[in-house]
Structure 1
């Protein structure tokens, strides 16, 4: 017993000489003396080796040492906590915090929102629909029956056949679904992602984004279409941009046209982007074909309408002078950070 008591006194002297200067050294002390595998616990294990007539005396010494070690721990702990609290004195919590990096919206989202904002000011509402579509809403109802040659203009991703289900090739499927509801007049724009089986390059991708528009009412004319698109282009690109319409063909509109604007990169003088013509095509449009109206249960003798559609990527490339369409989908932070100020 005398040897163990001398050892306890040595531990007392060791503890008294310790300097605890931080949480790490305090935790080291706790593990050494007070943990389940620490010195205090092991000393209590020696109780079984003490003669019965000396157990009471040894137990008193041992309990005193345990109390001593625990009090030292608590005192050091409170001292460290007090020092930590004093370290915060004088901090001005009203000062602004450290700046955090600001993210940015994707350029496609920026232009999409701007396009929708312009058409909302003209009384258009936004309508959206499914990206997985059946053949009727994507093709047949749009005057594109099976084996129609115009279907070759859109190389389609088919998911199943008989019945045909596919990834939509345009957002015109939303227009068909809205017309089928029979709630007239209709004045909507349809944004969304579309898919076509094309080789990925600087000018094409297997998916892209569109905004299409539809207006159906009594006595709607091509003049209404032109004035709507004139307003849209000038709001988006500025008052100085020049506009022209060229006759075209789409099976779901008649008459049909494509609209060009003067090249923003060369100001109409001619460059590689506009193929030295001074003009860049931005959208297709036309009066809704009477057969499309009839397919949706609308009386083509009473109602007329116009429709238009544009690729958001093409508009974005022109607006921000981007020369590679693939940049929109590679998630390069260096490219995306350029649009932080556009939020």
Structure 2
């Protein structure tokens, strides 16, 4: 039997296609070859258009040959596609492999801000003394910020703290003493808490004052607590904070929520610097939270973190703590 020209073309196409597929190096190139040889307008379709010129006896042999060629080309396309996909996965895995023996990339470490460092140091001391850290909201009601602390609407002590009032009648807390009230409302004595947080007062900013600053307050309530317990606690704290050589003195003072009350000074740069206020919890404050002042007594103290940071690090101006000057911050 003689071979028709179409069969010869089909054999040539098969050989050419298989060689081209074997030489392909990417999935995109492989797809182009599939379209070139097996697409609707590909070479196989163009060759088969000549079957109309064949005799009825020749057509079955040519059709069978076309199917064999198409199957052979498609099989080689599938095999090459699998090989290229596996090679791509292997290359990706190799590229993403982590060499754990390589040295790490060094990144500069951040530094703790002197204010945060001071708060951490204070909390470490008081937690070591058995105190629990307590927190509360910065937006407070008049009741928790003033009234429950023995400071009613007409009390002259309100003039001591120029307050930021909000349109809804609430205010930005002027001290963290409000945290003490909230804690006592939900806990029975004995209690020992330390309350750090940000507070707000309409104060003139200068070297030692700021309208927004940080405060830490401590509170202890139990049976039989005396002013000597308060003095001993404060002296122990200040000695751990600044060292045993720092001179400390107590001065009689006034706060609406403590009675008796005192200011605490430390000697700094040859001068006495006021750093905290303290006193025995006023009986009216204990009554406001449901404690019996005939059974329980307590003491409280509060101080500004900025003042302590200034003493601890010999900083001459409180505003340096807020200027974000890297030349200053890198010293810590």
Smaller-chain TM-score range? Answer: 0.7 to 0.9
- Residue in 2 that maps onto 1:291: 284
Q: CA deviation at 1:212?
A: 0.6
Which of 218, 224, 229 is the matching residue for 1:224? Answer: 229
CA distance in 1, matches of 2:83, 2:184: 80
Alignment of 1:190-339 (within 5 A): 190-198=195-203, 203-263=208-268, 268-269=269-270, 278-322=271-315, 325=318
Bigger shift: 279-288 or 150-159? 150-159
Q: CA deviation at 1:281?
A: 2.4
Alignment of 1:104-253 (within 5 A): 105-161=112-168, 164-181=169-186, 183-198=188-203, 203-253=208-258
Q: Report the structure number with the largest CA radius of gyration.
A: 2
- Residue in 1 that maps onto 2:71: 63
- Residue in 2 that maps onto 1:44: 39
Structure 1 unaligned segments of length 5 or more: list them.
Answer: 19-25, 270-277
Q: How does the TM-score come out when normalised to structure 2?
A: 0.74
Question: Cα distance 1:242–1:88, how it changes in 2: closer, same or farther (>3 A)?
Answer: same
Bigger shift: 137-146 or 1-10? 1-10
Query: For this pair of structures, how many residues does the alignment match?
Result: 311
CA distance in 2, matches of 1:229, 1:124: 13
SS in 2 for 1:239: coil
CA distance in 2, matches of 1:85, 1:175: 59
Alignment of 1:72-83 (within 5 A): 72-75=80-83
Question: Cα distance 1:80–1:233, how it changes in 2: closer, same or farther (>3 A)?
Answer: same
Question: Cα distance 1:4–1:257, how it changes in 2: closer, same or farther (>3 A)?
Answer: farther
CA distance in 2, matches of 1:80, 1:291: 79
CA distance in 2, matches of 1:190, 1:183: 17
Question: Cα distance 1:280–1:7, how it changes in 2: closer, same or farther (>3 A)?
Answer: farther
Structure 1, residues 216-273: CA drift from partner, whole Å, max 9, x if none? 334432222111111101111122222122333322223322212222xxxx34xxxx
Q: How does the TM-score come out when normalised to structure 1?
A: 0.72
Question: Cα distance 1:330–1:69, how it changes in 2: closer, same or farther (>3 A)?
Answer: farther
Q: CA deviation at 1:307?
A: 1.0
Q: Is the 8 A contact 2:14 2:72 kept in 1?
A: no
Q: Is the 8 A contact 2:30 2:81 kept in 1?
A: no
SS in 2 for 1:285: strand
Bigger shift: 279-288 or 296-305? 296-305
Bigger shift: 228-237 or 42-51? 42-51
